[in-house]
């Protein structure tokens, strides 16, 4: 063998994500709400001319792919920049390229990945080129454009919201990979389910996992991947819980129960454990807000405001700074007085209405905007609370005729609900005294 062949090897195969990159819209996984016949983005491809747009969605859902397909569909020059690495020099070079391409009679699409990483000045610098038509701008972002993209730039681009891939989409993508790029490698159903859970709606994550399984199978000399082999291949890069898996829901359950149980240290433990495992802080923010309404309620109305403020703070600051606000909201939820009285009352009311008939609104509570309605007595005997002693129409009835007082809301003897219970007790005393004198509109 000649010496110059000593280190000769076949070139490594293209990454699976590149080998399976769609060449037509029909090959794109997911996003049916945008790409189905008659859907907004499908119509954009069929419009005859490209226009500026922003793709907002989590990683691995096809933002870059769609931008490339747009350039291909309209035979445009495609210039891709990453806002993480690109600077003013790169943007200028892209515009110079666009000038040359325009002189040759073609359009240029400038795709900027992670556009939210550009500061205000960098984003503003794009405006003249977008407005002049020199370029068609396509931006991709994982962050809320309302907070991260200048209003001037946002107003000149159509926003499309991309969703995480559904389980069915991921399964179809795995089948396509098996057919086209994995050399006939087979997977058990349990292995596919594990891979789909691991991917968590992210196509790139799924394809990377499939590549690792392919490598592990070759090393083991097998042609079929079972759940054990898949787990072994994924262990190095897997989260310590998977969205949709038991561990994920066990941990969020532990966080919720620790807050409900008023144990701030345990609540902080599970909160930071989930962050460390890769949980989306926005998901945790939503759960904390739910805790405020479900387990604290009117015992401390400030809890909901603090939870909402923490969520908004995270949107502004991002990770890791914004997570401090969420952590302190978790502490506040844990130490706040607890009440599920509002939660229980709402559920009881819903169950009652669902199983009850459609009761009519009492005549005295009906609005009377017309002469006929007034003649029919609508609202005639209604008592305006602000004109009554203590701004309370004692003895007035607000339920449908014949419906007994249900007593759904029962304040607990904790926090602000102590005062609420005292107020309600006083109102009931006034009602009883008024009804003893036969006040109209009472039951």
Which of 81, 85, 140 lies closest to 108 in space, CA to CA? 81
Give the mean pLDDT of 1-19: 56
The residue that leads in pLDDT, 7 or 394, is 394
Could you report the per-residue pLDDT of 58-92, keeping only the tens digit for each? Answer: 888 999 999 999 999 999 999 999 888 887 788 88
Residue 428 pLDDT more than 60? yes
Res 293: pLDDT = 96
The residue that leads in pLDDT, 239 or 222, is 222
Give the mean pLDDT of 174-183: 83
Give the mean pLDDT of 356-380: 89
Tokens of 292: 């405020």
Percent of the residues in the chain that have a pLDDT greater than 70, as a whole number: 93
Cis peptide preceding 35, ω within 30 of 0: no
Give the mean pLDDT of 140-154: 86
Residue pair 201/164 in contact (Cβ under 8 Å)? The answer is yes
Tokens of 200: 């968590």
Residue pair 421/413 in contact (Cβ under 8 Å)? The answer is yes
If you write DSSP's letter for every residue of 372-440 in order, what string do you get?
A: HHHHTTTTTT---GGGSGGG--TT---SPTTPPP-------SSTTHHHHHHHHHHHHHHHHHHHHTT-T
Res 7: pLDDT = 42
Res 439: pLDDT = 53
Residue pair 13/60 in contact (Cβ under 8 Å)? The answer is no
Q: What is the mean pLDDT of the chain?
A: 87
Could you report the per-residue pLDDT of 385-404, keeping only the tens digit for each? Answer: 999 999 998 988 988 999 99
Res 1: pLDDT = 45
Residue 236 pLDDT more than 80? no
Residue 32 pLDDT more than 60? yes
If you write DSSP's letter for every residue of 149-189 in order, what string do you get?
A: S-HHHHHTSEEEE--PPPHHHHHHHHHHHHHHTSTT-EE-H
Tokens of 265: 């240290």
Which of 365, 367, 363 lies closest to 377 in space, CA to CA? 363
Q: Provide the pLDDT confidence category of residue 304 given band limits of 50, 70 and 90.
A: very high
């Amino acid at each position: 063998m000649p010496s110059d062949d000593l280190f000769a090897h076949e070139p490594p195969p293209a990454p699976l994500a590149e080998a399976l990159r769609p060449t037509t819209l029909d090959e794109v996984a997911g996003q049916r709400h945008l790409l189905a016949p008659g859907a907004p983005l499908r119509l954009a491809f069929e419009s005859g001319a490209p226009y500026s747009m922003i793709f907002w969605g989590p990683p691995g859902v096809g933002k870059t792919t769609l931008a490339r397909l747009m350039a291909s569909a309209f035979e445009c020059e495609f210039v891709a920049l990453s806002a993480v690495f690109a600077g003013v020099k790169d943007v200028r070079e892209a515009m110079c390229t666009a000038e040359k391409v325009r002189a040759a009679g073609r359009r240029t699409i400038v795709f900027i990945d992670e556009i939210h990483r550009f500061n205000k000045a960098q984003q503003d610098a794009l405006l003249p080129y977008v407005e002049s038509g020199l370029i068609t701008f396509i931006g991709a972002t994982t962050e809320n454009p309302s907070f991260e993209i200048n209003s001037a730039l946002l107003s000149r681009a159509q926003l499309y919201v991309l969703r995480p891939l559904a389980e069915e989409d991921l399964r179809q993508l795995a089948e396509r990979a098996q057919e086209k790029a994995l050399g006939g490698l087979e997977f058990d159903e349990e292995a596919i389910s594990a891979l789909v859970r691991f991917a968590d709606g992210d196509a790139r994550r799924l394809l990377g996992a499939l590549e690792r399984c392919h490598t592990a199978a070759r090393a083991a000399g097998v042609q079929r991947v079972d759940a054990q082999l898949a787990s072994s291949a994924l262990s190095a890069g897997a989260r310590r819980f998977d969205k949709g898996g038991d561990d994920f829901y066990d941990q969020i359950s532990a966080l919720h129960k620790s807050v409900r149980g008023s144990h701030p240290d345990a609540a902080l433990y599970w909160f930071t454990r989930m962050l460390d495992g890769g949980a989306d802080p926005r998901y945790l923010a939503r759960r904390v807000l739910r805790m405020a309404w479900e387990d604290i309620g009117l015992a401390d109305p400030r809890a909901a405001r603090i939870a909402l403020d923490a969520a908004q703070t995270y949107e502004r600051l991002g990770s890791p700074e914004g997570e401090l606000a969420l952590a302190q909201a978790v502490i506040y939820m844990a130490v706040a007085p607890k009440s599920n009285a509002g939660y229980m009352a709402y559920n009881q009311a819903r169950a009652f209405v669902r199983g009850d008939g459609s009761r009519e609104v009492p005549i005295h509570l009906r609005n009377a905007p017309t002469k006929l309605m007034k003649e029919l007595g609508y609202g005639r005997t209604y008592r305006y609370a602000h004109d009554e002693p203590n701004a309370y129409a004692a003895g007035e009835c607000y339920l449908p005729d014949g419906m007994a007082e249900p007593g759904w809301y029962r304040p607990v003897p904790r926090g602000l609900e102590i005062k609420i219970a005292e107020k309600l007790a006083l109102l009931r005393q006034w009602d009883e005294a008024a009804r003893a004198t036969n006040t109209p509109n009472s039951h």
